[in-house]
Amino acid sequence: MNAVIYGNHALVVVANRLPAYRSEGSWSPSPGGLVSAVAPMVRESHGAWIGWGGTSEEEFEPFEFDGMSLVPVALGAEEHERYYEGFSNATLWPLYHDLVVPPQFHRSWWQTYRSTNARFAQAAVDSAAPGATVWIHDFHLQLVPEMIRAQRPDVRIGFFNHIPFPSETIFAQLPWRDSILRGLLGADVIGFQLASDVKNFRSAVSRYLDIDSGRLSNTVHAYPISIDTAAIHEVAEAEETQELARQMRVELGDPRTLIVGIDRLDYTKGILHRLRAYQELLEDGVLDPQDTTFVQVAEPSREGVESYQDLRDDVEQLVGNINGSFGALDGAAVHYFHHSYSFESTVALYLAADVLLVTSLRDGMNLVAKEYVAARHNNGTLVLSEFAGAAAELHDALLVNPHDIAGLKDAIRLGVEMPAAEAGKRMASMADVVERHDIHRWARTFLADLQPTAPTRELRTSESSNESSSAGHTKRIQYVHTAE
Ligand code: F6P
């Protein structure tokens, strides 16, 4: 057996992506809540962050960046295709999002998922100091906890899943379900967004590993993720952002009502459902295209995956149909943007919108909803899917089942017509929630639980262990700001 060579980092974060992206030959910090919450902790302990370097064309050596040691994991083109586009995004993603599209099961993808997870795990093993804390993120890396544990019994291992964990009957379809569960059980703390994810995971463990999940020595708990509320406030309060919001409305023809959707172009987001509801409201004459405008930002995502390409075609066709019927020379009924927006422009769009639509068919959390609330503070209305994790906290949104197009139409109409006093009251109560539970608190709570001396679950205060609340994650690629 080879002797283990210890690294020198007391905190090691392992995620699919690094907290920096490469552009024109140099690295820049990735924007986003997760990075802004976790990076300072990594910096403080002179920690390491392990992640994919972002391209198959170049390989990078570990480097120092912004007070952190970044350790890029190189993925060849075929590995990227099988591990990221294939097993992560065409097997696990649809399976964990309740089969919105059919998952594909390929043994070759699974082999590559395993071997790639082993490379991330090895990089963590090599970086971690004796007794270090290792924090692994998301569904791309579910085998990593067990792989690290096998070599490094001395470290504390945490795993947080940013997306839902499916019900036992859906998870049943995965040919490699036992290995995934064993992989996760390598962690001391296994975190999910919602109490329902915890319950699903526990049932799967009991059923497929034949372990009494009530007797697990691991902490399995809900840690609803949140946003960098203070950063949103700062940008929302800046005069330039407010001016940009005003300009946006002017450029859109100064509509009486501006409805907005901001998402990654992903089939879990229910973009087609909201467009259909809007189309019918125009057809019914409930909304007038002369004084109502809909802006849909759909940030390009996972463009190598077929179901994402199909969705793009469907969305663009429907937008074309709506504009063909209701657009005019001086304005479109739907303004559709298939590109990313900067953080500042996204916040300006939140400020410009009268009604924000979040109509996810399934969503771990949905941080767009929380960011909108933080930016608006005491006005604007939010239509929110009951299938987004955020619905467990944002009770004062107009909650909808996006499959129920009639109900969705009613909610949009209510949102458009809601008296300002009521909208303000609802928004203020939701703003209070995102103020109290921000991303910094989320990160601190998770890491505190990961310490060897962490109080047992039963001993924690009811507020910090609130299992009925929920929360999400933030996606970050270059110059992108679309909260998950
Ligand atoms: O929330 C799940 C997630 O995979 C995040 O980890 C990521 O930031 C986001 O979706 C976008 O995904 P990708 O990294 O595939 O662009």
Tell me the C-alpha distance between 368 and 350, whole Å. Answer: 9
State the DSSP string of 91-144: IIHHHHTTTSS-----HHHHHHHHHHHHHHHHHHHHHEEEEEEEEEESGGGTTH
**Banded model confidence at residue 479, pLDDT cuts 50, 70, 90:** very low
- Nearest partner of 71 among 115, 124, 148, judged by Cα: 124
Nearest CA, atom 8, ligand 1: 475
Catalytic residue selected from 9, 137, 140, 162 = 162
What pLDDT score does 66 carry? Answer: 92
Cβ–Cβ under 8 Å, residues 383 and 415 = yes
To test the pocket of ligand 1, the residue of 14, 85, 475, 478 to mutate (highest count of ligand atoms within 8 Å of its CB) is: 475
Q: Which atom of ligand 1 is nearest to the CA of 140?
A: 4
Is 401 within 8 Å of 407 (Cβ atoms)? yes
Task: Find the 475 Cα to ligand 1 centroid distance in Å.
Answer: 5
Q: Active site includes 188? A: no
Q: What does DSSP say about strands 474-475 and 398-400: parallel, antiparallel, or unpaired?
A: unpaired
Q: Which domains does the chain have, with CATH numbers?
A: 9-222 (3.40.50.2000), 230-436+468-482 (3.40.50.2000)
CA of 19 to the centre of ligand 1 (A): 13
pLDDT in tens, 297-350: 999 999 999 999 999 999 999 999 999 999 998 889 999 999 999 999 999 999
Taking the C-alpha atoms of residue 413 and residue 270, their distance in angstroms, rounded to an integer, is 18
Q: How confident is the model at residue 480 (pLDDT cuts 50, 70, 90)?
A: very low
Q: Of 87, 107, 97, nearest to 16 (Cα)?
A: 87
CA distance 70 to 13: 10
Q: Would you mind telling me the total number of residues written for the chain in this entry?
A: 484
pTM: 0.93
Q: Is the pLDDT of residue 460 over 70?
A: no
Instruction: Select which of 126, 228, 266, 363 is catalytic.
Output: 363
Tell me: pLDDT of 1 over 70. Answer: no
Q: Which residues line ligand 1 (CB under 6 A)?
A: 16-17, 138, 162-163, 301-302, 364, 473, 475, 477, 484
